[in-house]
Amino acid sequence: MPALDHPLIDRFLDNLWLEKGLSEHTRSAYRSDLAHFNGWLQGRGLELAAVGRDAILDHLAWRLGAGYVARSTARFLSGLRGFYRFLLSEGLISNDPTLQVELPHIGRPLPKSLSEADVEALLAAPELEDPIGLRDRAMLEVLYACGLRVSELIALTFEQVNLRQGVLKVFGKGRKERLVPLGEEAIVWIERYVREARPLLLAGKPSDVLFPSQRGEQMTRQTFWHRIKHQAAVAGIGKSLSPHTLRHAFATHLLNHGADLRTVQMLLGHSDLSTTQIYTHIAKARLQELHARHHPRG
């Protein structure tokens, strides 16, 4: 049966016209959304009147990964809720699968991220013969290895760095303290930078700041943001970046490689798990893409 001709969708739309007098435009939009959802379900061997919350969440994750904007997804979910409430009122289902599914936040786009190849190109972009380039390389390595906010990175002092144990002590929002592993690569680049470039940048000035500016002072967020954009241009990365791009890449790549959400929440310093959950949409879409490409039954 073609998805557009599903009798339950027709019954629901007729009810909208009879009971609520919704316009043809609104009913047409709901029909398109429901028909598309039904087709998506059929492709996975699922039935429109027999889905659970997990299937709806999977579809929402798919929509986000496919680039649907939050406003479009909010309209889709509004229609879906009305549809399943109608089926419940008609006694056609016993539970509403949309009850614990939250509407997406309008105006809160998914964080921009970079592929692992993009990150490698960005990390390799700085000119290592230049003290500023070597500093940039060390900063980018730490930013990606630790998922820091830019404000946390530029404020790092020597007291916060323990290279022997391989950790950073980071002070996040509200001065909340967390320990973050550095990783071997970041440690190597910090050591080289401290040995070869930092003394040249300080030019004899006393400072406890790990990554000083060319003037030997704490760098501003704006200055480091300009450095990121410069290195991205050198690397040939045409994507629009944000100051948090490497932080987003850190979270997404961890999840793609099997990290659990609570661990990523702790590493990012999020007080609320719901703040971290936005990354699961990106990571899940990537995992589904890899599964479809490489699994024999994908």
What are the catalytic residues? 149, 173, 244, 247, 270, 279
State both tokens at 168: 């950073």
Strand-pairing partners, residue 181, are: 167
Q: Can you tell me the distance from the alpha carbon of 11 to that of 74, in angstroms, rounded to the nearest whole number?
A: 22
Q: Which long-range contacts (CB under 8 A, 24 or more apart) does 186-194 make?
A: 186/138, 186/141, 186/142, 186/145, 186/146, 187/163, 189/137, 189/138, 189/141, 189/142, 190/138, 190/141, 190/142, 190/161, 190/163, 191/163, 192/134, 192/138, 193/134, 193/135, 193/137, 193/138
Give the number of other CB atoms < 10 A from CB of residue 229. 13
Taking alpha carbons only, the member of 145, 180, 149 closest to residue 254 is 145
State both tokens at 175: 């001065």
Q: Can you tell me the distance from the alpha carbon of 277 to that of 60, in angstroms, rounded to the nearest whole number?
A: 13
For 106, list phi and psi in degrees, rounded to 5: -65, 135
Taking alpha carbons only, the member of 272, 228, 282, 224 closest to residue 251 is 282
Tokens 């997990």, residue? 54
